[in-house]
């Protein structure tokens, strides 16, 4: 599904961010200007697999924007946490595209940070309410974090780092925070389990490439550059490693800061 408009891209000095987001079942690609404004975007909230949609999405947004590869300055990708396979595909694709052209920068943004920035822009956002991105972690769990809007700079700051919350404990986990604004595919999936104090941002249904591009443009917390730093944030031990280790898995948390 194509979203967003197109405008002439071949302007002298026009720096463009090619952004990818594959942390969830949603698969999206976007071209963003240096200020984070959207030039072109394609979003599929459901399958088929990311491998079938990602590169065709790159070609689609370039064609929509009348852009060429020479217009790209930065390739950016959402780092997760999220689905193991989707993250691997997105990060590997971004790395390959950037490394094929030494002129292009490679950037990565923690997916919860990109979602939190989108929540801060949502019509439902209140100045002092915590912003809580919720990402489906499968196994009836969500990846959750708490952010606050930075009123002076228009960004967000971490209040509580990313952690894994069982769906059955989500209401209590959120209720202790008072009135909050939530968004992401985890919020949509477990909407019926949310407490009355949680307001859902219906326009922030899943992390998208546009959110990633805007996070790069704003130099959001956790933004990293280069192949050594642009690595998936899985949020927990992958199943294969967990089974090999006897079936136990820790629930790590991280701030989304630079690695």
pLDDT tens-digit readout, 19-75: 999 999 999 999 999 999 999 999 998 766 788 889 999 999 999 999 999 999 999
- Range scoring the smallest mean pLDDT among 127-141, 143-157, 219-233: 143-157
For the residues 164-184, what does the mean pLDDT come to?
97
Structure confidence at residue 258 (pLDDT): 36
Structure confidence at residue 3 (pLDDT): 43
- In terms of CATH, what superfamily is 2-111+207-244? ATPase, nucleotide binding domain (3.30.420.40)
| Max mean pLDDT range (11-15, 45-49, 96-100) | 96-100
User: So where are the chain's domains?
Assistant: 2-111+207-244, 113-200
**Residue 4: which pLDDT band, with cuts at 50, 70 and 90?**
very low
Q: What is the 3-class SS of the chain, one letter each residue? A: CEECCCCCCCCCCCCEEEEEECCCCCEEEEEEECCCCEEEEEEECCCCCHHHHHHHHHHHHHHHCCCCHHHEEEEEEECCCCCHHHHHHHHHHHHHHHHCCCCCEEEEECHHHHHHHHHHHCCCCCCCCCEEEEEECCCCEEEEEEEEEECCCCEEEEEEEEEEEEHHHHHHHHHCCCCEEEECHHHHHCHHHCCCCEEECCCCCCCCHHHHHHHHHCCCCCCEECCCCCCCCCCCCCHHHHHHCCCCCCCCCECCCCC
For the residues 134-155, what does the mean pLDDT come to?
91
Structure confidence at residue 213 (pLDDT): 97
Considering the entire predicted model, what is its pTM? 0.86
What is the CATH number that goes with domain 113-200?
3.30.420.40
């Amino acid at each position: 599904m194509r979203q967003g408009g197109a405008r002439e891209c071949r302007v002298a000095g026009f720096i463009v961010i090619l952004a990818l987001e594959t942390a969830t079942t949603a698969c999206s690609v976007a071209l963003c200007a240096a200020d984070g404004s959207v030039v072109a975007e394609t979003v599929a909230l459901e399958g088929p697999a990311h491998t079938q949609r990602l590169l065709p999405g790159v070609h689609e947004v370039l064609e929509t924007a009348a852009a060429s590869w020479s217009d790209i300055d930065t390739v950016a990708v959402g780092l997760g946490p999220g689905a193991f396979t989707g993250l691997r595909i997105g990060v590997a694709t971004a790395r390959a595209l950037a490394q094929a052209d030494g002129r292009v920068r490679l950037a990565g943004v923690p997916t919860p940070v990109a979602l939190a920035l989108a929540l801060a822009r949502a019509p439902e956002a209140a100045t002092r309410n915590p912003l809580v991105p919720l990402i489906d972690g499968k196994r009836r769990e969500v990846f959750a974090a708490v952010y606050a809007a930075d009123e002076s700079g228009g960004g967000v700051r971490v209040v509580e780092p990313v952690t894994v919350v069982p769906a059955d404990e989500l209401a209590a986990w959120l209720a202790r925070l008072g009135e909050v604004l939530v968004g992401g595919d985890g919020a949509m999936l477990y909407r019926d389990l949310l407490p009355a104090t949680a307001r859902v941002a219906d326009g922030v249904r899943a992390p998208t490439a546009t959110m990633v591009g805007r996070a790069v443009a704003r130099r959001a917390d956790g933004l990293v550059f280069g192949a050594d730093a642009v690595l998936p944030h899985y949020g927990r031990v992958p199943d294969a490693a967990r089974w090999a280790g006897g079936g136990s898995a820790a629930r790590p948390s991280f701030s989304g800061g630079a690695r």
